[in-house]
Structure 1
Amino acid sequence: MARIASTVGVAFLALTTTFVYTHRDTLYTFYANRPGSLKDFNILPNAGVEHEDVVRNCEDIYMDDVEGWAVLSCDPGRDKWNTVLGIFTDPLAPPETGLYLSRYSDPDYIEPQKLTLTNFHPGPANFHPLGITYDPGSKSLFVVHHAASGTRLETFRLNRDRLEAKHISSISDPLLLTANNVVALNSATLLVSNDHFFAKRSHGWLTMLETYLALPLASLVRVDLDITRAQGPPNVTVLARLPFANGVAVLNGTTVAVASTVRAAVYLYTSPSGFAKGTADVKLVETVRLHFLPDNLSVDSNGALLIAGHPFAPALEARARAGTGGACGVLETATATGNGEEDGECPVAPSWVAEWTAEGGVRDLFVGRGFGSATTAVRDVGRGRGMVVGLYERGVLTWSETEA
């Protein structure tokens, strides 16, 4: 009996040691970034929060740094409808939910302007946009939509002059049930991250186990739209499996970066034949370890990978849960106190923004509570401009290398 107990003890110790080792980066964030320990840091020039009365709860940004405009994906309804975190209080989206055009390079630019969604039969009240991407050649805007009826990809034709996004098609597939982020390789091929294998809508406990154990079940998939249009059902191919796949960004023709939120890391994958070639010869070649949980990714014109995310997961969870009661949803801004809350009512989820290059590694740009729950950072190198949006934050954090 003693021998059996000893064997069980050794096995338990081995499993515990393995778990701690493989989760060390994530566990580090719980200690180092806890309230009272996280130190504010900011090297973004002339940084400030703008448009607080215009946009709220924005998840993603597509930036065209050639022509100098951007589209923001915003959903104030996230306070009561977040399928990733398991909040299903109310699927109706507020009127201000939608896609916003920012003409940030226009000298007469004032604020982001909401795009009118035309030919969109589900209607704005059932629109919950998450990740977005754009194909300049076809002027197609692809949006991950966490609709009440299920997650799908929506295709819109963008007309910036008319501030209009005309709905073209909806794409759904069993391999897109937990779609989170999307990037267009061209007009015919998309790369999509699925943040879980088990959808929170239907497998709550299994989703929790998948998250907390960091099981490599989430996926990076390729959606071939040329086949979709020709034959009806989409052709979706799984390219890689990883824990909690989130943001996706293309570094070059053969390398793609995918954020693994629960592993506090960004995985770099290569495909010698290219990700749009119809093959699945994808290999993990590098893991970029972080001191925070990454959300979305972007690549600037210099090839630097911008990473936005969350220093302390419990703070983000607390902010998400607090929004279901409406208190956080009506606050103009969030000002953090020592315990990570504002007046004991609305928890504040701090942000972390960093950049990575193969030559210089990871460099922090912004850390702290001056702007909450950062999800995406983008940068226009030529114009010296940048912006960050937050999952549960009002406005946009902007910076500029020249004084306004």
Structure 2
Amino acid sequence: MRRFFTILVPLLGLWIWRGKYLLYYSILTRPDLPDGYYYRGDVSTHCSNLNSSPDPAFKYCEDASFWELHDTDGKLEERRVIVSCDSGRKQWNTVMGPLLNPTPRGSLWTYSPTSGKTTRLTLENYPENHTFHPLGVEIYPSYAGNASYMYVVNHAARKTVIEQFLISPSSSVAKHIRTLSHPLFIAPNALALTSPTSFYVTNDHVFTRRLPFIGSFIPLVETIFGLPLSFAAHVTVDPNEIAEKSVLAHTLAAPFVAFANGVSVSPSGLEVAIASTSTGAIYFYDRNIANNILTFASSVLVPFAPDNINYDHDGNLVVSGHPHFPTLTKLAANKTDVAPSWVVSVSPVLAHTSSEFDPEATLSASAIVPPSNNRTIQTLFQSNGNTLSSGATGLKDTLSGNVYISGLYAEQGVMVCRN
């Protein structure tokens, strides 16, 4: 027993020191956030629900990503938004629980800023008895109207897999191509494409809620103690859609991450960012484009538990997350109605010597986390949950200026804030 405590006490000390900002500001205390703050102006005039007359299925939306449509000359015509939602999340959530009823299917949606319409995608050729609980979603750009491959993490009843679809810009039908599975798809969460048939995927835990007997508490231990057991991998699939072996290669890309969550590739392709939810940090890696090997470069702390991340087209990383994790767990358990949201933009700078940054926000990020040597933080949106609950993903469209925010347990699904 003495040996056990000899090992445990230093580990606890290391965790407290490493995650002290997240522990104090996002777990032990609840930050004083406004009903709604938007960096471009008043929330009530700039922000609205993405779907003004939402379908009952358009809620509890975890991920969103841009679908770029280019013309025959390669010029960008429109950035649509793909959204993954699961109205049954409070009955089936393999990350936070519970695991009660996997039968009701989640849904996929597209939003066109040109038409202003939100459309539910029809899943064609999807196996009748195959459950569908979408989380991470990514889609390859379309050129000259060509159909695009779309990949969706599916927290299905038996195990978590990745679904591959084909979708055309002129259609609202997503044709199911195949289900991708691999022994090391332990707990897939988020995706970042590197080609039409390859991507990075994070696995948020090694011990999951699916495990018999220990699944109800061991994943919580992994989360709370910030154990660096999760990882990101690079996956290559066979371009032949009817190939017997779909996954051609699965390579460990970023090991030893605590609760690896969102992942994104920079516009240049030379940098990859991964969110560590348990430590309140974003890890930046240099990427070798030739072989997709990642080399750790730096990290930055954010003022909340980060969820999904997305580079905008100027190279800034948009990070969304949860400023008070205990409230989020209560919301998942139906013990409260809303949970706070916070979205920031993390931008590279040559040097950051001042402790003052993010000065315009109602609650500045500088009040919670120290400055970084090479990154700066600007709040785009924050809410105590009354304007948007449990923000999970933020997207910033540099073309239109729109900011899109999805809510993990938001009744309105997704909010759009315009200039």
Assess same fold via TM > 0.5.
yes
Q: Please say if residues 26 and 304 of structure 2, whose CA atoms lie closer than 8 Å, have aligned partners that are also in contact.
A: no
Which runs of no fewer than 5 residues in structure 1 stay unpaired?
A: 323-344
Deviation at 1:29, TM superposition (A): 2.3
Q: Which of 164, 168, 189 is the matching residue for 1:180?
A: 189
Residue 263 of structure 1 corresponds to 279
- Residue 295 of structure 1 aligns to a residue whose secondary structure is strand
CA contact (8 A) 1:244 1:260 kept: yes
Task: Specify the alignment match of 1:338 in structure 2.
Answer: none
Q: Deviations over 1:340-390 (max 9, x none)?
A: xxxxx6331110100001126111111222200011111211112121110
Q: Is the 8 A contact 1:350 1:373 kept in 2?
A: yes
1:171 aligns with 2:177: no
**Alignment partner, residue 411 of structure 2:** 394
Q: CA deviation at 1:23?
A: 1.7
RMSD: 2.5
Partners of 2:128 and 2:253 lie apart in 1 by 31
What letter is aligned with 2:377?
V
Note the C-alpha offset of 1:143: 0.4
**Residues 1:314 and 2:326 are matched in the alignment:** yes
Specify whether residues 12 and 296 from structure 1 end up closer, same or farther in structure 2 by C-alpha distance, changes over 3 A only.
closer
2:101 pairs, out of 75, 90, 94, with 90
Find the aligned partners of 2:221 and 2:27 in 1 and give their Cα distance: 22
The answer to whether the aligner puts 1:61 opposite 2:64 as a matched pair is yes
The residue number in structure 2 matching 1:237 is 251
How many Å separate the matches in 2 of 1:285 and 1:373?
30
Residue identity matched to 2:265:
V
Contact 1:260–1:266 (CA under 8 A) maintained in structure 2:
yes
Match of 1:27 in 2: 23
Note the 1:4-403 alignment, pairs <5 A.
Answer: 14-30=10-26, 34=30, 37-40=32-35, 41-45=37-41, 46-51=46-51, 53-54=54-55, 55-64=58-67, 66=76, 67-93=78-104, 97-106=106-115, 109=116, 111-122=117-128, 126-136=131-141, 139-202=148-211, 203-204=214-215, 205-226=217-238, 232=245, 234=247, 235-241=249-255, 242-251=257-266, 252-271=268-287, 273-274=288-289, 277-278=290-291, 280=293, 282-322=294-334, 346-359=336-349, 361-368=376-383, 369=385, 370-395=387-412, 396-401=414-419
TM-score, length basis structure 2? 0.81
Instruction: Quote the offset at 1:89 in angstroms.
Output: 1.3
Deviations 1:74-118 (A, max 9, x none): 110111000011211111225xx3111111222xx2x41111100
Q: CA deviation at 1:33?
A: 5.1
Aligned equivalents of 2:8 and 2:14: distance in 1? 10
- Contact between 1:44 and 1:366, CA under 8 Å: does it hold in 2? no
What is the deviation of 1:25? Answer: 2.5
Taking the aligned partners of 1:239 and 1:320, their CA distance within structure 2 comes to: 31
Q: Which amino acid aligns with 1:113?
A: T
Q: Name which of structure 1's ranges 226-235 and 144-153 shifts more when overlaid on structure 2.
A: 226-235
Distance across 2 between alignment mates of 1:228 and 1:259? 32
Does the 8 Å contact 1:58/1:393 carry over to 2?
Answer: yes
Which residue of 1 is the match for residue 355 of structure 2? Answer: none
Task: Give the structure with the higher percent helix.
Answer: 1
Deviation at 1:231, TM superposition (A): 6.4
Whether the aligned pair in 2 keeps the contact of 1:294 and 1:309 (CA below 8 Å) is: yes
Unaligned runs of 5+ in 2: 69-75, 350-374
Q: Deviations over 1:19-60 (max 9, x none)?
A: 31112122122367516x344543244123342633101111
**Number of residue pairs matched?**
364
Give the TM-score of the pair, scaled to structure 1.
Answer: 0.83
1:398 deviates by: 0.8
